[in-house]
Amino acid sequence: MATNGKDSRGLKDDVCVHSNGSCKESAAMNGAATEAETPSNGAEVRPQRFTFSPAPSMEDIRRMQAEFTDERDWNKFHQPRNLLLAMVGEVGEVAELFQWRGEVAEGLPDWTEPEREQLAHELSDVLIYLVELAEKCRVDLPQAVLRKMALNRLKYPASKVHGSAKKYTEYKD
């Protein structure tokens, strides 16, 4: 994976995955990246932050999976409830990889490369069915996430919930 130094860019100002190289940032953004965090307030230095590659987008994934399904004449099996059950099955396959292990630290330090790749496959399967389920339900998932995140910020104001795992219904005004 290539590295880049762009993590803190603003969503609305500067978001580009133009993979044909016509946008000026695309070369620097080609690949997942880690970035050193150097707090100026003397706080503990956190581990380097991992980032995702900018492509494919969720719409790319939706379109590729739709083509995959169309080419195989599988839409007749891909009703919303079937897709939901397929997603549940894939979530179960992720769970299998974590069962009987005890706690697992961030970054999976004790996992082998084949175990990591198996996890990457199962997480991908969850995403693929989630995206297709959203499509078949006519939910614009990228935009829905923005609305839900705005709600979460209202339900859990940082000033009120800092360091606490209580549910929002347990907080007093």
The residue (of 106 and 173) whose beta carbon lies closer to its own copies is 106
146 vs 135: CA distance, rounded Å: 17
As measured in angstroms, the least distance from the Cβ of 153 to its own copies is: 7
The residue (of 11 and 173) whose beta carbon lies closer to its own copies is 11
Residue 96, amino acid: E
Task: Answer whether the bond into residue 56 is a cis peptide, omega within 30°.
Answer: yes
As measured in angstroms, the least distance from the Cβ of 28 to its own copies is: 13
Query: What sign for the dihedral angle of Cα 104, 106, 107, 109?
Result: negative
As measured in angstroms, the least distance from the Cβ of 155 to its own copies is: 11
The residue (of 143 and 173) whose beta carbon lies closer to its own copies is 143
Residue 37, by phi and psi: left (phi above 0), alpha (psi -120 to 50) or beta?
beta
The residue (of 82 and 172) whose beta carbon lies closer to its own copies is 82
Helix, strand or coil, per DSSP, at residue 95: helix
As measured in angstroms, the least distance from the Cβ of 148 to its own copies is: 4
